[in-house]
Amino acid sequence: MSKKQKIKKPITREILEWVLTIVTALLIALPLRAFAFELVRVDGSSMDRTLADGEIMYVSKYDYGSVWLALPWQDGETKEKAARWSVGGAPERFDVVICRYPGRGDTDFVKRVVGLPGDTVELRGGYLYVNGERYEESYIADEYRIPGGSNGWSSRAYTVPEGEYFVMGDHRNNSNDSRAVGTITRDMIIGHARSVVWPVSRRRNID
């Protein structure tokens, strides 16, 4: 046999090498996704004009995140009871976060934190008031402040419970958020949206 001739590997060995390669890749990727970062695609218009439908964000888990130990094939109720814990620090007011809602399993939402634990949040005449102070929120388009009349949208004052957060979308008249689902607990915030990475032409930091 010529030295240049290749010795063919047994098929079982080839299969084993592929399995080991895949397992190794998973062992590296899963901890990174759980504790370091994740790429998340924007779905919908609730964060217009800050984020557009279809854009892909870089989401930091290192800043503050929550790890949910649920398996992909578990149903929604089981996932709600999955073991989870928070890492890193705590979200700050006006951070854009990836979060989950009570009763919605592992569905991810992207929203902005507007109320911290203990804050009193009020919407009056299309503007946000926190602890009596009005915030202009330059990222809110004027047409999103007034969905149905010259007085804009308003709501009663609400005090955020300890350990919970009030989140809203930047497209204020087209967002399913804490105004409807209530506040969310700290372990429902699973990452900090830091930048848009795709499309490349729209790469930018998220304010």
Please check whether residue 206 is in contact with residue 193, taking contact to mean a CB–CB distance below 8 angstroms.
yes
Helices (H), the chain: 11-35, 76-80, 178-181
**From 46, 60, 66, 178, the catalytic residue:** 46
Whether 116 is in a domain gets the answer yes
Within a domain: residue 19?
Answer: no
pTM for this model (two decimals): 0.76
In percent, the amount of the chain with pLDDT more than 70 equals 69
Whether residue 132 is contained in a domain is answered as yes
Instruction: Identify whether the C-beta of residue 115 lies closer than 8 Å to the C-beta of residue 122.
Output: no
Is 155 one of the catalytic residues?
Answer: no
Q: Is a pLDDT exceeding 80 seen at residue 85?
A: no
**10 Å Cβ neighbour count for 139?**
16
16 CB-near residues (< 8 Å, 6+ apart): none
Extended beta strands in 29-118, E state: 37-41, 56-60, 64-69, 83-88, 96-99, 109-115
Q: Note if 79 is an active site residue.
A: no
**pLDDT value of residue 120:** 97
pLDDT tens digits, one per residue of 44-65: 999 999 999 999 999 988 778 6
Q: Is residue 59 situated within a structural domain?
A: yes
pLDDT, one tens digit per residue, over 151-164 is 456 778 999 999 99
> Active site residue: 60, 66, 79, 111, which one?
111
Provide the domain limits for residue 176: 37-205
What is the domain count for the chain?
Answer: 1
Residue 32 maps to a domain: no
Q: Are 66 and 85 in contact (CB under 8 A)?
A: yes
Query: For position 178, which CATH number holds?
Result: 2.10.109.10
Q: Is 24 a domain residue?
A: no
Give domain status of residue 85, yes or no: yes
Amino acid identity of residue 150, one-letter, is: S
What are the Cα distances from residue 190, in Å, to 40, 95, 97? Answer: 12, 13, 8
**So what's the pLDDT on residue 152?**
54
Token pair, residue 143, equals: 């047409």
- Find the mean pLDDT for residues 12-31: 61
Cβ–Cβ under 8 Å, residues 155 and 173: no
Please report whether residue 2 resides in a domain: no
Q: DSSP string of 154-166? A: -EEEEEPPTTEEE
Helix, strand, coil percentages, rounded to 5, for the chain: 20, 35, 45
Q: 134 phi and psi, to 5 degrees?
A: -85, 135
